[in-house]
Amino acid sequence: MFDLAQIRNDFPILSREVHGQPLVYFDNAATSQKPTAVIKSISDYYDSYNSNVHRGVHTLSGEATDAYEGARGQIGRWFGITDPGEVILLRGATEALNLVANTIAGELKHGDVILVGETEHHANIVPWQQLESRLGVRVVPIPVDRTGMLDLESAKMLCAKHPVAVIAIGHVSNAIGALNDVEGFIALANENKAFSVIDGAQAAPHMLVNVKNLQADFYAMSAHKCCGPTGIGALFARRELLERLPPWQGGGDMIDRVSFSGTTYNELPWKFEAGTPNIADTIGFSAALQYLESIDFVAATAHESQVHKYLVDSMLSRNTVDVLGNPEQWVSVCSFNVKGSHPTDVGTLLDQLGIAVRTGHHCAMPTMEYFGLPGTVRASIAFYNSVEEVDLFLDALDRVTRMLAH
């Protein structure tokens, strides 16, 4: 049974006030809040067994290594992966996507086309653009439709016209919340012998993702949007692919032997993890997934979908706001503008009433350009949010709308 009151107690921050009002935290797409279990797992590490991992002969190093590598195994299993060599731990989705672009660069040739969703976060656009001048490849956007979905049929036409070597798309767009047809895009990439690269940053917090079943070449995500700490995330990729690709960064841990006559590299996954890893936050990341498991994540996401639907339906029925997109499958986000008002003014006034939302371009400037907007106000729901909070938000929004009209 999903007990919302109990779940909210697990998140100390949810009971604080902002400007004398109860906090309504609707900025989950930027980062989620953290339950006590995650905070405690990190302080336990520093309190009891803080030490560097790998190669240590002393007890603390052994304990830290076991916890770090145990966390990797658990993180992989959550995403349907049993081979820890296919789980690269790094700073988050941004670093994961940069790693992919930089390591597959050697497999691309002059004139190749990289298809990138028009609604991508900048983290899934800019690393590809950086290859353009270096390699003579070309980034071509996959068009978005008015509902906010990436158009698979247009992508098929682009594949028929160009030598497409990479298809890079978001599983869920962060500015709109559209759940894209990832299976369709991955199949299209496979048919064209192109790499499929999926940015799962906004999907992983809201649904169980089995990366093995998806059969994407690369899947990137960040822990901090899934109740875990910031500065840690994962890249999942097939072993044979990772074995073929060169390491990206050089340093400790990623080597087998170093000599001025030639250096050899470590096995997977460490070949892609140069330097001291983020041990504490990897432990916190794993604790976050264990927490999600403990609360019945599927029930939690079902509750979240109901709250999100209530929010979206209420917003669509208001003639004072314009909602961005209207995708068939819509996850967590409601991006909107109050008619005649600037998003920053709306967000700032909502904050005065205790409501935390994000305003601006949401690191998705091409999305804003397509819809002809400078930015939006974005409310985004997590499983710990309630229908009552949506009501508080709607009341506050109506007040703000009236204030801005005068």
> In a 3-state reduction of DSSP, which class is residue 217?
coil
Tokens 């809040």 locate to 33
Residue of 226, 227, 334, 363 marked catalytic = 363
| 13 within 8 A of 23, measured Cβ to Cβ | yes
94 part of the interface to ligand PMP, by CB under 6 A: yes
Q: Could you give the C-alpha distances from 235 to 3, 72, 165, 172, 394, in angstroms and in order?
A: 32, 11, 20, 17, 38
| Residue of 384, 383, 388, 371 lying closest to 335 (CA atoms) | 371
Among 92, 127, 177, 269, binds ligand PMP (CB under 6 A): 92
367 binding ligand PMP? (CB under 6 A): no
Considering only 123, 168, 315, 381, the residue that binds ligand PMP (CB under 6 A) is: 123
363 an active-site residue?
yes
Cβ-based nearer residue to ligand PMP, 93 or 114: 93
Per-residue mark of binding to ligand PMP, 127-146 (x: CB under 6 A):
--------------------
Phi, psi of 202, deg, nearest 5 = -100, 0
Assess 247 for contact with ligand PMP (CB under 6 A).
no
Q: Does 125 contact ligand PMP by CB under 6 A?
A: no
Q: Is the dihedral of CA 153, 159, 162, 165 positive or negative?
A: positive
Least separation in angstroms between residue 221's CB and ligand PMP is 8
Closest distance between ligand PMP and the C-beta of residue 301, in Å?
17
Quick check: 201 binds ligand PMP (CB under 6 A)?
A: yes
Is 202 a residue that touches ligand PMP (CB under 6 A)? yes
**How many Cβ atoms are within 10 Å of 164's Cβ, its own excluded?**
21
Q: Which is nearer to ligand PMP, 4 or 363 (CB)?
A: 363
The minimum distance between CB 170 and ligand PMP, in angstroms, equals 5
Among candidate residues 385, 350, 333, 369, the one with its CA nearest the CA of residue 175: 333
Establish if 121 lies at the interface with ligand PMP (CB under 6 A): yes
Residue 222 found at the interface with ligand PMP (CB under 6 A): yes
d(C-alpha 73, C-alpha 60), whole Å: 20
CB of 366 to ligand PMP, least distance (A): 13
Shortest spacing between CB 6 and ligand PMP, in angstroms: 28
Q: How many whole angstroms from its chain centre is CA 20?
A: 32
357 lines the binding site for ligand PMP (CB under 6 A):
no
Strand order in the sheet with 321-323: 321-323, 333-338, 376-380, 358-360
Q: Which of 381, 376, 342, 379 is nearest to 119 (CA)?
A: 376
Q: How far is the CB of 227 from ligand PMP (least distance, A)?
A: 13
Residue with tokens 């305003």: 359
Query: What DSSP element (H or E) covers 388?
Result: helix 387-405
Would you name the residues annotated as active-site residues? Answer: 363
Q: Which residues bind ligand PMP (CB under 6 A)?
A: 92-94, 121, 123-124, 170, 174, 199, 201-202, 222, 224, 233, 363
